[in-house]
Amino acid sequence: MVTHRLVVARHNEDLGWTQKVDRKKWHLSVVTKGLQVPNEGREASSFLWAMEQFYEDDGYIAFVQGDPFDHYPALLKVLNEGIMPLQFTPLGKEFLATDENGGPHDADLPVKEWFEEYCGKWPGPIRFAPGGQFVTPAAWIRSRTKEELRELRERVNASPVGAWTLERLWLPLFVW
């Protein structure tokens, strides 16, 4: 019985690796740029679109890029053999800290502005996993309304730095 969903944000990547995903555990949903969604907003836009589409899902939902292994080489092992966490879990091989402007790795990202709009008072540097991939209990997505998710997707699509900003905010968006 399929109990979880794997959302893959695809542009032109080879998805042969998805054949190795245990389909008894995971329902595969590929969100392809130019088909389901416009080619804008990078993976963040695709993830938000999928959250709207699969809003009522149960179990866990994993959100990954079309070629997820640069950011998380252990993905297949975790999906097929791992025990799902009881909480939101970034799927990244490292964690970095970001300041209010996206530094030290990027500059001029509206991290603090978006944090305060969606999550509350800026706490100072926050940690994130590069690549913006994660798994979360599906119910946690419903901590945001469908309208909030749609508006955030539109904002990501309209901003040239939206995807990089949201990459830093996935954890606080659903946990804080």
Q: Find the angle CA(55)-CA(58)-CA(64) to the nearest 5 degrees.
A: 70
Are the C-beta atoms of residues 9 and 63 closer than 8 Å to each other?
A: yes
Q: In angstroms, rounded to a whole number, what is the distance separating the alpha carbons of residues 119 and 139?
A: 18
Asked, for residue 20, whether it belongs to a domain, the answer is yes
Q: What is the pTM of this model?
A: 0.95
Residue 5 has φ and ψ, to the nearest 5°, of -125, 135
Asked, for residue 74, whether it belongs to a domain, the answer is yes
Neighbouring-strand partners of residue 115: none
Asked, for residue 114, whether it belongs to a domain, the answer is no
Q: Are strands 134-137 and 96-98 parallel, antiparallel or unpaired?
A: unpaired
**pLDDT single digits (tens) 54-106:** 999 999 999 999 999 999 999 999 999 987 777 889 999 999 999 999 999 99
Asked, for residue 31, whether it belongs to a domain, the answer is yes
**pLDDT single digits (tens) 2-30:** 689 999 999 999 999 999 999 999 999 99
Confidence (pLDDT) at 56: 95
Asked, for residue 117, whether it belongs to a domain, the answer is no
How crowded is residue 143: how many other Cβ atoms within 10 Å of its Cβ? 12
| Cα distances (angstroms) measured from residue 27 to each of 70, 93, 131, 139 | 23, 24, 22, 17
- CA 172 to mean position of chain CA atoms: 12
Q: How many domains does the chain have?
A: 1
Confidence (pLDDT) at 3: 82
Enclosing domain of residue 83: 4-93+130-175
Which CATH number fits the domain that encloses residue 19?
A: 3.90.550.10
Asked, for residue 105, whether it belongs to a domain, the answer is no
Confidence (pLDDT) at 1: 53
Asked, for residue 108, whether it belongs to a domain, the answer is no
Confidence (pLDDT) at 37: 93
Asked, for residue 36, whether it belongs to a domain, the answer is yes
